[in-house]
Structure 1
Amino acid sequence: MIWTPISIEEIFEKIYSTEKDLNGNLLNFWDLIKIYPEKWYEEEYGQEGGGFWVVGLMGRRVIYYNDIEEGFNISEYTAYGTIDNYYCNQDDLNITILNLYSLITFGGRITGQAGPPIGF
């Protein structure tokens, strides 16, 4: 099977599907951090597909869709337009929004982030 990058239309489908199920504080939070999807550069694995779609932005963190692993992830960024860390979680958008919301609500660190393959 040949991998093809996800289209912006498919990203919007995932966003709209999530938005219809969000409510209360999570919906308010999402409304504050969501951005029009943009392709951002990621050095390790993001070059082949022209980058990964970033859909949310809060401080120095982004929510992006890893279309290689088919899931949403949170990464820090230093320069706008460049994702600092590759993660391969296969989370739905609502879980990723909840993880970021929990980080600012309760503090601490984001847990459960799967990193890139080791030894490749």
Structure 2
Amino acid sequence: MEIQGKVKKIGETQTFGTGGFRKREIVVTTEEQYPQDLMVEFVQDKTDLLNNYQVGQNVKISINLRGREWTSPQGEVKYFNSIQGWRIEALQSDASSSEMPPMPPNDAFEPVSNLNDEDPDDLPF
């Protein structure tokens, strides 16, 4: 699966336990009718993939959905989901391709002269 959006936040790498488990989180805001802030975690050697990205950048992240069951000390069973990233790539901004060409300066235009002597406000309707 993939998600696309704008980077809202990139966390620092966190290390847990004696085994040195590493995790780093990124928050991406999707660009759709109802934008969503999605937190994606990168683990172990994948944490370094986020080093070249910045807040505000448009990205595409390849993800896996993960789920797990947990039983509390009281015997209550709960379920947790997470979004785990395994690849990230920068997207080109579509704004540059959809923008109009730059407007020439005002002095590049000449005033329009009235070609006939009729009233310039003489509209046909």
TM-score normalised according to structure 1 size: 0.25
**Higher-RCO chain (CA-CA 8 Å, sequence separation at least 6):** 2
Higher helix share: 1
Rg larger in 1 or in 2?
2
Higher strand share: 2
